[in-house]
Amino acid sequence: MSNNDIDQISIKRKANTKKKKKSNLPFILIFLLGFGVLMYPIITRWYYRVESKNVIATFDSEKEKLSKEEVKRRMELAKAYNSSLHNEVTEDPYSDEKKQEGRAEYARMIEIHEYIGHVQIPAIDVDIPIYAGTSEDVLQKGAGHLEGTSLPIGGLDTHTVITAHSGLPTATLFTHLSKLQIGDKFYIHNFAETLAYQVDQIKVIEPSEFNDLLVVKGKDYATLLTCTPYMINTHRLLVRGHRVEYVKDLIDKELLEGKKNIWYMYLFYIVLFLLVVLIISTLYYIRKRRKISKKLKNANVDNIK
């Protein structure tokens, strides 16, 4: 075999290698695109969890530094604000002046998007900051306290409403709120204590319906609110809970169970993605084999001629 023949064979091999690389390029691009789409919400939501945990840790640390006098002052203002929301009470311990102070304090909190606590939902592994008000800036970074409802300090004749987005690619927030069931518990941590609520009502309403958000005399309610259905957002999902005793040991068990459920969900999405990749790979392989068979068949026909 001459050197010229060897060179020709080498050139053909290189050409075939380039063809193979080019033929694999669409599959590689599809795989990378799919992998990127899958990982983007996972990475961004993981980053949000880290950030929100830092915010919560700062809040918990700061509230430990509050003096008893400051805690009492804040509680008095919050109670005065809550009292101003239900004037039908026959014996109101707060004067109009005190109520005005409470409203002025809340207006200040909304203006600066003050961080007023965090809401923890073990069943769906959620623990996010609560800010005063429900502006879009607030709802992009956590949950908001719905203005016109009781501040989350508990007590009879109160009904606080905490709202957050669903379906954000950058943060889970209340995306899985629909998974809560009657009897599940959620917790609101404020500057003074932790309030425990047990779910007793789950309801879907029109955006213009407000009756289920009103104060009920003699009750201590908290409602979690988000948009529904997922990505359509024409209605509102309300998950209401009534106040129950807070048991710290119980919350640890609930958190562990909630983390398991969330990881099972992530595992499902990963398996689904791998299944899609397998199907695409199989279809690509079959298509490629058919092309090769067709070429061989045409080559055999040419040889016969």
The DSSP-derived string for 38-58 is HHHHHHHHHHHHHHHHHHHHH
DSSP state of 124: G
DSSP state of 236: E
Which pLDDT value is given to residue 86? Answer: 65
How far apart, in whole angstroms, are the C-alpha atoms of residue 266 and residue 268?
A: 5
Which pLDDT value is given to residue 255? Answer: 58
Query: Tell me, what amino acid is at 133?
Result: G
Q: What are phi and psi of 126, to 5 degrees?
A: -120, 135
End-to-end CA separation in angstroms for the chain: 27
Average pLDDT per block of 10 residues along the chain, 305 residues long: 52 52 65 72 83 91 91 91 67 57 76 85 94 92 94 95 93 94 96 96 94 94 95 94 89 59 63 71 73 66 55
Phi-psi region of 233 (alpha: psi -120 to 50; beta: other; left: phi over 0): left
Enter the pTM of the model.
0.73
153 and 192 Cβ atoms separated by less than 8 Å: yes
Which pLDDT value is given to residue 92? Answer: 46
Give the bridge partners for 266, in sequence order: none
Instruction: Identify the residue whose tokens are 């769906």.
Output: 124
Domains of the chain: 63-258 (2.40.260.10)
Instruction: Identify the residue whose tokens are 């024409």.
Output: 234
How far apart, in whole angstroms, are the C-alpha atoms of residue 205 and residue 223?
A: 13
How far apart, in whole angstroms, are the C-alpha atoms of residue 218 and residue 292?
A: 78
